[in-house]
């Protein structure tokens, strides 16, 4: 099995690297208030939404691009990006049959067959999918099934039209437009994304999933995800992404906000597989995203699980603000970098409420010429009594040209807090490799085996379908890195 995957990989380094010939409706290049008005008008947005965008844009103009991350890259030219690109023809889609067949083919190549999904409806392990293609949501499956339970799962633009009260109330609550350079940019120009609302007392009967795809050249993808879990509700949310192989660097600057009310729980899993650039570090996606959850009320829980294998440069810190008493935040991450990839990723756990708990497990693997950094903040505010945090960040180095770094910040202002942090860095165990090889397992497979074992703690947290995909991805990402 692993062999087949590897062979496939040798033939085509990045198998999601195809482009789809779909005519796109694009905004002119560049960024100014007119472009923002154009996007807003195109999406038929109410006045308050335009105001939100313009305010964010005016803020953004006064902000400076952050430089503190342990990455180096050529800064994108923000005047050279197409901020709106929608697959054409765009009309109201009632059923899958109306979707552009080219688009459907793309999804089949991606391994998400909408048809199949539809047929599988009613089966236990089904997933509702919202697909975002070049910043515009093209199709959300299972909408009706979910609606019966009162769950709202739709594209962000639809939510703006159909549920303006919810959007108005929660958008920007966790990641205000002034938060940072990229969140401000996103707030000004975001074109679509996913919106999810789980009403009181509802456990989502299926996993909700969004699939992001950058297709057009010269575009940036700026989507926004907003997940709200009302009292006593539960949802597991998945996100996946790919992009075509291009020589240029494309910018992806997303914002994800999660809000949990009393006793609610959100489990957010993502497998990030944007195009990482070629072997010489040419091209690839700049992945600068802001993800943050807010445990607004007591006994709520937010859990982030991420497998990061793609992107040329990653800059991502999914965080949890533990405001409610007894709330729980979790962060499980595997970040793999190969060739010339650079990742600066980690989390922030801000403890405000009493008896709050957080767990951080981060596994970094660097190979080739890549640099992989963990950057995290654990902050126990005054009055957050009995707060508890445990962090563990391990790094695995393959080859002597790569780097692994940890930058943990720990700030404690309450004497009843207990905070622990551990980090180790080592190379892949020679004796483990020897043990495998002695039993007739070749080098590549042995590495795959050891790495998967090393990441088990995190992979176990992923939903079934994702775990399988993630394991394959790990093997492919590290192909040829040792020996």
Contacting positions for another protein (CB under 8 A): 68, 70, 382, 395, 397-427
Choose between 189 and 335: whose C-beta lies nearer to another protein.
335
Give me the least distance between CB of 362 and another protein, in Å please: 12
Choose between 2 and 402: whose C-beta lies nearer to another protein.
402
d(CA 454, CA 461): 14
Choose between 239 and 394: whose C-beta lies nearer to another protein.
394
Choose between 62 and 124: whose C-beta lies nearer to another protein.
62
Choose between 303 and 477: whose C-beta lies nearer to another protein.
477
Give me the least distance between CB of 352 and another protein, in Å please: 15
Region of 303 (left: φ > 0; alpha: ψ -120 to 50; beta: rest) is beta
Choose between 299 and 362: whose C-beta lies nearer to another protein.
362
Give me the least distance between CB of 187 and another protein, in Å please: 25
Neighbours of 121 (CB within 10 A): 13
Enter the tokens of residue 74.
């050529």
Residues 420 and 410: beta-carbon distance below 8 Å: no
Partners of 359 in the β-ladder: 330, 390
Choose between 36 and 69: whose C-beta lies nearer to another protein.
69
Choose between 262 and 357: whose C-beta lies nearer to another protein.
357
Give me the least distance between CB of 428 and another protein, in Å please: 9
Partners of 403 in the β-ladder: 371
Choose between 66 and 201: whose C-beta lies nearer to another protein.
66
Choose between 92 and 431: whose C-beta lies nearer to another protein.
431
Give me the least distance between CB of 66 and another protein, in Å please: 12
Show the 3-state SS of the chain: CHHHHHHHHHHCCCCCCCCCCCCEEECCECCCHHHHHHHHHHCCCCHHHHHHHHHHHHHHHCCCCCCCCCCCCCCCCCCCCECCEEECCCCCCCCHHHCCHHHHHHHHHHCCCHHHHHHCCCCCCCEEEEEEECCEEEEECCHHHHHHCCCEEEEHHHHHHHCHHHHHHHCCCCCCCCCCHHHHHHHHHCCEEEEEEECCCCECCCEEEEEEECCCCCECECEEEEEEECCCCEEEEEEEEECCCCCCEEEECCEEEEEECCCCEEEEEEEECCCCCCCCCCCEEEEEEEEEEEECCCCCEEEEEEEECCCCEEEECCEEEECCCCCEEEEEEEEEECCCCEEEECCEEEECCCCCEEEEEEEEEECCCCEEEEEEEEEECCCCCCCEEEEEEEEEECCCCCEEEEEEEEEECCCCCEEEEEEEEEECCHHHHHHHHHCCCCHHHHHHHHHHHHHHHHHCCCCHHHHHHHHHHHHHHCCCCCC
Give me the least distance between CB of 437 and another protein, in Å please: 18
Residues 134 and 106: beta-carbon distance below 8 Å: no
Phi, psi for 382 (deg, rounded to 5): -65, 135
Give me the least distance between CB of 372 and another protein, in Å please: 10
Give me the least distance between CB of 412 and another protein, in Å please: 5
Give me the least distance between CB of 302 and another protein, in Å please: 23
d(CA 65, CA 477): 29
Enter the tokens of residue 98.
């109306």
Choose between 235 and 417: whose C-beta lies nearer to another protein.
417
Give me the least distance between CB of 380 and another protein, in Å please: 8
Give me the least distance between CB of 149 and another protein, in Å please: 43
Choose between 217 and 392: whose C-beta lies nearer to another protein.
392
Give me the least distance between CB of 162 and another protein, in Å please: 45
């Amino acid at each position: 099995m692993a062999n087949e995957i590897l062979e496939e990989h040798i033939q085509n380094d990045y198998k999601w690297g195809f482009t789809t010939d779909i005519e796109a409706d694009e905004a002119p290049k560049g960024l100014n208030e007119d472009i923002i008005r154009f996007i807003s008008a195109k999406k038929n947005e109410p006045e308050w939404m335009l105001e939100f965008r313009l305010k964010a844009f005016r803020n953004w103009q006064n902000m400076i691009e952050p430089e503190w991350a342990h990455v180096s890259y050529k800064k994108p030219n923000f005047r050279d990006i197409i901020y709106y690109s929608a697959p054409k023809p765009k009309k109201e889609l009632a059923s899958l049959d109306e979707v552009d067949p080219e688009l459907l083919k793309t999804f089949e190549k991606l391994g998400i067959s909408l048809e199949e999904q539809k047929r599988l409806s009613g089966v236990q392990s089904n997933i509702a999918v919202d697909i975002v293609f070049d910043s515009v949501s093209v199709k959300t499956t299972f909408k009706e099934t979910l609606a019966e339970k009162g769950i709202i799962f739709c594209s962000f633009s639809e939510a703006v039209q159909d549920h303006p009260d919810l959007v108005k109330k929660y958008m920007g609550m966790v990641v205000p437009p002034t938060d940072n350079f990229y969140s401000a940019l996103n707030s000004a120009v975001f074109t679509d994304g996913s919106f999810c609302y789980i009403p009181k007392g509802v456990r989502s009967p299926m996993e909700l999933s969004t699939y992001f795809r950058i297709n057009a050249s010269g575009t940036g993808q700026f989507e926004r995800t907003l997940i709200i879990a009302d009292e006593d509700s539960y949802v597991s949310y998945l996100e996946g992404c790919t992009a075509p192989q291009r020589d240029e660097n494309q910018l992806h600057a997303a914002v994800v906000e999660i809000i949990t009310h009393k006793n609610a729980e959100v489990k957010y899993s993502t497998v990030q597989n944007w195009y990482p650039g070629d072997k010489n570090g040419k091209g690839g996606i700049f992945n600068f995203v802001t993800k943050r959850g807010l445990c607004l009320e007591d006994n709520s829980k937010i859990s982030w699980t991420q497998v990061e294998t793609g992107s040329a440069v990653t800059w991502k810190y999914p965080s949890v603000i533990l405001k409610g008493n007894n709330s729980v935040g979790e962060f499980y991450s595997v970040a793999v970098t190969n060739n010339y990839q650079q990742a600066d990723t980690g989390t922030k756990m801000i403890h405000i409420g009493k008896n709050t708990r957080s767990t951080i497990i981060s596994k970094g693997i660097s190979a080739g010429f890549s640099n992989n950094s963990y950057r995290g903040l654990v902050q126990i505010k005054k009055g957050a009594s009995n707060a508890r945090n445990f962090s563990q960040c391990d790094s695995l180095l393959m080859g002597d040209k790569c780097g692994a770094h940890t930058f943990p910040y720990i700030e404690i202002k309450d004497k009843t807090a207990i905070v622990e942090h551990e980090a180790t860095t080592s190379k892949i165990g020679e004796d483990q490799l020897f043990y495998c090889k002695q039993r007739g397992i070749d080098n590549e497979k042995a590495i795959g085996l050891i790495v998967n074992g090393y990441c088990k703690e995190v992979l176990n947290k992923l939903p079934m379908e994702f775990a399988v995909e993630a394991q394959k991805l790990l093997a492919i990402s590290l192909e040829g890195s040792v020996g």
